[in-house]
Copies of this chain bind each other. A is one copy, B any other.
Amino acid sequence: SDFLAIDGEFSGISDGPSVSALTNGFDTPEERYQKLKKHSMDFLLFQFGLCTFKYDHTEEKYIMKSFNFYIFPKPFNRSSPDVKFVCQSSSIDFLANQGFDFNKVFRNGIPYLNQEEERQLREQYDEKRSQANGVGSLSYISPNATKCPVTIPEDQKKFIEKVVEQIEDLLKNEENESLELEPCTGGLKYELLRKERYIAISKVNEEERKRREQQKQAKEQEELNDAVGFSRVVHAIANSGKLVIGHNMLLDVMHTIHQFYCPLPDVSNLLSLIHQNIFEDLAKWTFFHFNLFSSYFVSRLLDTKLMASTQPFKEIINNTSLAELEKRLKEVPFSPPKVESAEGFPSYDTASEQLHEAGYDAYITGLCFISMANFLGSFLSPPKNHVSARSKLIEPFFNKLFLMRVMDIPYLNLEGPDLQPKRDHVLHVTFPKEWKTSDLYQLFSAFGNIQVSWIDDTSAFVSLSQPEQVQIAVNTSRYAESYRIQTYAEYVEKKHEEKQAKRKCTEDSWKEMERKRLKTQCTPYVSQSRYYCVNSFTGTSTVGKRSMSPIQEETGSDDMEEEEGQDPEYDQTESCAEPLPDGKKRAKKFKKIKTEQVPAGKHNVHVQGFLFCLELP
């Protein structure tokens, strides 16, 4: 195929206290990763949709094959992991209303193993085999033998003696080839369990023994493949090198790694790998997520929600929720893509929306990609009707995963440092837990339009329309007793200090502090980075200098919003995204290259030391 589209359905989205706490508008990409890891990974990815698209040049259309995989961690044997997963009733109810077939998941779901589980199972088989081959010294004792040899009870001695006699007879007598022992009689414990069963013994020659051994090994290999199950499909996708398309796919990608490769690591675990003080926090995070995603996905990822939220699309697309996007992309200036189901494969009808069946969602995600890719061809001279998944035109969208509801960072960048927006118009406010949004509006009533992003019960970010107002707000609050206001930069600095304080005061960390102290005395260098993106807020008055081109956040749509079925009154914030630099090559290896500085607020964070083969033109 030319490219693949994927989508996942989950048993739940978030076990966090509230959606607003889970997706704060000023989360850093690292914070968002940590939140999703903490609050979303206990759910089960139980339906995986896959659509393959292959372009037929003579017919000038795509041929599509769609698959719906139902996934369930059915225990393979007694020693295999007994997976526990969480269900969220709102998500289950949502899927139930869509006609989701839970029986298919739980009765016929395909099993899977993560890498560690697969390794352990292989080891078990190898051990068994080497024992069977007489390599192990314990070949006559069951590997799990934890009991001492059994004393034969009086009443069973007769039976056992008879069996021994029969076997000796079989061995002595060359004519006899096999022997069927009679079923155990009363008194023997396993009688109840093994009713109707008996043991058959037969003599075999060396050749026959080998043949049986091979047969057994082939069967074992098959069993092992069955146990690894759906993980094999995921590995094939990740290693295919094809472009893998998803819509708002961060959670899908994280779940896929977590479930089929290894439990998602913690950013702070990096400390054990690399000395904690080599990196600044941002560089550490960059290193971390680069490593995480690139070690599992050779294939490149493309997020259609991010694509639709980026120029040149964001100007003409109001609602980037999957269903709305698919509709929009059938109309001018776009054209509906020509796609047909392959022979023998079911076809989906976009008219009778089967939204939230994973295969259907993957399908229309693919349609969206084709429409948008082809639209890019219209800017060429001469214009092209068909833009392939291998075209340079779409490379700027590679490996950038949409960050939902972050106001000023449109995506998590898998191949380099994340964007570092200026947040010099943002305040961090703490207050009594009785306060509501209206109290904050009142407090800041003198400053015109504001935007509130709740952090928890007693704190929130408040962004003002003008950065100049920030210092005034801080000053006027100096003597307030019930609440406290600090700038975003002060907040970040304090958080950073707290982190540092937690670390042990080794010689190295002392050196680090010295170095930092010196650095903060320098004047920050502010470049005109093309990565940089500022944000604007709802309201007519602020559109202008700080707003590039707003895109509308969809109403109650896409995975988290829609499935949770909550929070439809979440303020429609506008975020913006700059056109992405083109011509970048995928960072395949982790290299040491030049230092890049990205502008930040008062608190400059330098991305230094290690960096990535991110070719800036």
Contact = CB atoms under 8 A, between A and B. Distances in A.
A84 B85 CA distance: 10
A572 B191 CA distance: 14
A78 interface: yes
Given A438-B148, A441-B148, A87 B90 contact: no
A75 interface: yes
A438 B103 contact: no
Interface string A90-130: 10110110001111011100000000000000000000000
A12 interface: yes
Contacts of A275: none
Given A87-B87, A88-B84, A90-B75, A438 B146 contact: yes
B572 A189 contact: yes
Contact of A192 (B101, B107, B555, B564): B555
Interface in A48-91: 72-75, 78, 82-90
Contacts of A95: 106
A84 B82 contact: no
Nearest to A192: B555
B89 A85 contact: yes
Interface in A517-571: 540, 555-556, 564-566, 568
A438 B144 CA distance: 10
Nearest to A324: B192
Nearest to A146: B437
A15 interface: yes
A75 B441 CA distance: 31
A511 interface: no
A295 interface: no
A197 to B, nearest CB: 15
A465 to B, nearest CB: 15
Contacts of A105: 102
Given A93-B75, A96-B106, A103-B102, A555 B145 contact: no
Contact of A441 (B90, B100, B147, B565): B147
Interface string A305-328: 000000000000001000000000
Contacts of A556: 193
Interface string A462-501: 0000000000000000000000000000000000000000
A572 B74 CA distance: 28
Interface in A135-169: 145-148, 153
B88 A82 contact: yes
A46 to B, nearest CB: 10
A442 B564 CA distance: 57
A209 interface: no
B145 A438 contact: yes
Contacts of A96: 103, 106-107
A436 interface: yes
Contacts of A100: 106
B106 A102 contact: yes
A84 B15 contact: yes
B85 A438 contact: no
A436 B189 contact: no
Given A193-B568, A437-B146, A74 B102 contact: no
Contacts of A85: 86-87, 89
Contacts of A107: 96, 102
B72 A89 contact: yes
A555 B102 contact: no
Nearest to A449: B151
A81 B106 CA distance: 25
Contacts of A83: 88-89
A296 to B, nearest CB: 23
B438 A84 contact: no
Contacts of A87: 11, 44, 84-87
A72 B95 CA distance: 14
Nearest to A102: B102
A73 B93 CA distance: 9
A552 to B, nearest CB: 10
A82 B555 CA distance: 21
Contacts of A86: 84-87
B78 A566 contact: yes
A138 to B, nearest CB: 13
A89 B82 contact: yes
A558 to B, nearest CB: 15
Query: Which of A85, A105, A566 has the most B CB atoms < 10 Å from its CB?
Result: A85
A87 B89 CA distance: 12
Nearest to A155: B540
Nearest to A145: B438
Interface string A181-211: 0000000010011000000000000000000
A82 B438 CA distance: 26
Nearest to A74: B93
Interface string A227-259: 000000000000000000000000000000000
Listed from nearest, the 10 A-B pairs whose CB atoms lie closest are A102-B102, A146-B437, A96-B107, A83-B89, A148-B441, A82-B90, A146-B436, A73-B89, A96-B106, A146-B438
Given A85-B86, A147-B438, 12 more contacts: A44-B87, A75-B90, A75-B93, A84-B88, A87-B87, A93-B106, A100-B106, A101-B103, A102-B102, A146-B437, A148-B441, A192-B555
17 contacts: A72-B93, A74-B89, A75-B93, A82-B566, A84-B87, A84-B88, A86-B86, A93-B106, A96-B103, A102-B106, A102-B107, A103-B103, A146-B438, A148-B442, A148-B445, A189-B555, A193-B555
